A = this chain, B = another copy of it.
């Protein structure tokens, strides 16, 4: 079964409202293994909506329409539906009754607009609205089925859950299982190459790479004739991915790297202090965004100037002079310094050149040293990223946190 969503409303076209309705519906349908093939957004526009309906009915089995059922006269959906399905608008007593009680309850007089809400297309099956006054409609045309719902998220969701999804669930056949594996520290193209070597993956699942500056999320979607088959396919696919990318995977649910690290820190009763230069407080900020972070995050220092590195972290001025502030030696001294002063299990540090200016041939913009000090040893890494300050800070922070993850999770 293939579906099209038609979202109606000028506010969606001028960016006043983000179309979260469509994404919510898509997610619900995905859960049922039902594919949304199209989402069409059109304004409160009689001819536009008719065209959208015509296209949708020509190419999908089920059309889900939301919006434009309100009482104001920029709401054209009901008129278009009546016209399109060659249906008359007739008063419905139950709906009128409901509108009346609703208004009486709030001590409000009925307006003409409200009474008009009780007009319904005579060829439509009604869907009760338990959060508002406008009912939903179901039209059928041959094999095709068209569900029309209000655009108010709460009202649409209630109708989806009470009427639409149960019916579609009855009709749909493909069981689907999905999982997201979050990776970091590897570029999309490399991940793609690693996994591209396993053609059986494509037979087992639909695999999507979702990259951002923090890493690449791998989404596996398995469909089968039975629920078990789908699940088995997903499991076998996950095994292949894990076998080839284990050290890059930090979570099997869609969470941030810092959240995954924090979970483990709390579990293991470990503590952390951070000494940041080029990331300027970003790492401290990310960790302290997590509720309860005070149980493992002891302190942070943003040692932006060399003087601060010496005063706050005990980095020998001579070391900075010899190797420069941006060096593995200073990164390690910063990590060890903050760990010693804060008396924490882990000390994490960053020193680099976020840019856009301040780079040299030898030490270009985008260069960063990250270091992680613990009881066992002090590990460091050198990375070079691009030239945009904000993105560099994000990537520097991610690299530092990933080093901490690799140490504290025993990968290195």
> Residues on A close to B: CB < 8 A?
10-20, 22-30, 35-43, 45, 48, 51-52, 55, 59, 70-72, 74, 102, 105-108, 111-114, 131, 152, 187-190, 192-193, 207-212, 219, 274, 276, 279-285, 287-289, 291-294, 297-305, 308, 311-312, 341-342, 354-358, 364, 366, 383-386, 388-391, 393
Contact = CB atoms under 8 A, between A and B. Distances in A.
B16 A210 contact: yes
A209 B74 contact: yes
A289 B106 contact: no
B106 A384 contact: yes
13 contacts: A13-B37, A37-B48, A39-B41, A40-B41, A70-B211, A276-B281, A279-B285, A280-B285, A280-B289, A291-B355, A299-B302, A301-B301, A312-B312
Is chain A's interface secondary structure helix, strand, loop, or mixed overall? mixed
B15 A30 contact: yes
A211 to B, nearest CB: 7
Contact of A12 (B23, B291, B305): B23
Given A18-B18, A105-B384, A305 B311 contact: no
Contacts of A284: 280-281, 284-285, 302
A293 B280 contact: yes
Contacts of A152: 212
